């Protein structure tokens, strides 16, 4: 991923209907556990997420992001929070990929009520994001942005998760937001070595498909 020069927007990157659905799910999921956003960009959705929760019952919020999406990303997110009346110090920022941040969170026994997965959309990083669902409490919700055929890395991972783990269910899809509920504790790991091999095997195919689509769009624009 090449670094963009500056943030193009401080607003949420979710469409209005996706954001409304996300906030409704977040309010319902607020039951004493942590909230997690994987991939925050300028923190537009993060601000909305925090603001929709009652100040006296706000859960600990964790953000995992390498913060190299554009120049001064972390400072931009902190400024966005301040401008929205939120103390940036109240958010637990982990400047890291989700794969690198996961082992420490798991070792600390963290438990989450709500997870938004909106980081790198290629198949392998999304598979690695899925490891965090192990820390999701039963009844909790994990939302995936960009669930659809344009982002097969996201769609294939979500479909595979619910196909292989009967304790996960896709509750709804609003535009490109998939809401998945964890119904009970998992018997098997959500993401193990076999899942990583699966992702690695399909990665070149999806890479080829992406570049083919880009080339076709360029030819069509001529
Ligand atoms: C599509 S943007 C997130 C948009 C944001 N959730 C919103 O709704 O406004 C993707 C973000 O994922 C981050 N990212 C990229 N790779 C990541 C990874 N492996 N783990 C966690 N975050 C990642 C990028 O730095 C970027 O901030």
CA of 37, closest atom in ligand 1: 6
Band (3; pLDDT cuts 50, 70, 90): low
CA of 97, closest atom in ligand 1: 20
Residue nearest atom 5 of ligand 1, based on CA coordinates:
40
Question: Is 26 a member of any domain?
Answer: yes
Residue nearest atom 11 of ligand 1, based on CA coordinates:
39
For residues 40 and 75, the answer to whether their CB atoms sit within 8 Å is no
* Average pLDDT, rounded, for the chain: 95
Question: Is 153 a member of any domain?
Answer: yes
How far is residue 6's CA from residue 37's CA, in Å, rounded to a whole number? Answer: 21
Between 102-106, 148-152, 214-218, the lowest mean confidence (pLDDT) is in 214-218
Question: Is 10 a member of any domain?
Answer: no
Band (1; pLDDT cuts 50, 70, 90): very low
- How far CA 217 is from CA of 150, 179, 210, 211, in Å, comes to 14, 31, 11, 10
Q: How many domains does the chain have?
A: 1
In this structure, what CATH number is given to the domain that contains residue 66? 3.40.50.150
What is the distance in A from the centroid of ligand 1 to the CA of 10? 14
Question: Is 8 a member of any domain?
Answer: no
Q: From its phi and psi, is residue 68 left (phi > 0), alpha (psi between -120 and 50) or beta?
A: alpha
Task: Say if ligand 1 is within 6 A of residue 38 CB.
Answer: yes
Band (40; pLDDT cuts 50, 70, 90): very high
Task: Say if ligand 1 is within 6 A of residue 97 CB.
Answer: yes
What is the distance in A from the centroid of ligand 1 to the CA of 43? 10
Pocket test for ligand 1, best of 101, 120, 142 (most atoms within 8 A of CB): 120
pLDDT at 6 over 90: no
What is the distance in A from the centroid of ligand 1 to the CA of 110? 21
Question: Is 22 a member of any domain?
Answer: yes
pLDDT of residue 4: 62
Residue 112: count of CB within 10 angstroms of its CB: 24
List of E strands, the chain: 34-38, 61-65, 91-95, 112-117, 136-145, 168-174, 177-182
Question: Is 6 a member of any domain?
Answer: no
Question: Is 77 a member of any domain?
Answer: yes
Q: Could you list the residue range(s) of the whole structural domain that residue 72 is in? A: 16-221
pLDDT of residue 12: 96
Question: Is 7 a member of any domain?
Answer: no
List of E strands, 24-105: 34-38, 61-65, 91-95
């Amino acid at each position: 991923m090449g670094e963009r020069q500056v943030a193009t927007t401080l607003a949420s990157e979710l469409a209005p209907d996706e954001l409304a659905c996300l906030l409704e799910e977040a309010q319902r999921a607020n039951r004493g556990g942590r909230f997690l956003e994987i991939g925050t960009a300028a923190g537009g959705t993060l601000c909305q997420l925090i603001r929709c929760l009652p100040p006296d019952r706000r859960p600990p919020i964790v953000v995992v992001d390498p913060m190299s999406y554009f120049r001064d990303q972390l400072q931009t997110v902190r400024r966005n929070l301040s401008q929205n009346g939120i103390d940036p110090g109240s958010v637990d920022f982990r400047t890291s990929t989700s794969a690198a941040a996961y082992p420490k969170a798991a070792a600390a026994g963290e438990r989450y009520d709500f997870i938004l997965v909106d980081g790198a959309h290629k198949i392998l990083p999304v598979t690695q994001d899925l490891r965090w669902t192990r820390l999701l409490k039963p009844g909790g919700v994990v939302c995936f942005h960009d669930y659809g055929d344009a982002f097969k890395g996201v769609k294939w991972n979500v479909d595979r998760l619910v196909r292989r783990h009967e304790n996960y269910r896709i509750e709804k899809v609003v535009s490109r937001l998939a809401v998945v509920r964890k119904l009970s504790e998992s018997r098997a790991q959500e993401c193990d070595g076999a899942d990583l091999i699966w992702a690695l095997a399909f990665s070149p195919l999806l890479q080829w498909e992406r570049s083919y689509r880009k080339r076709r769009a360029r030819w069509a624009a001529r």
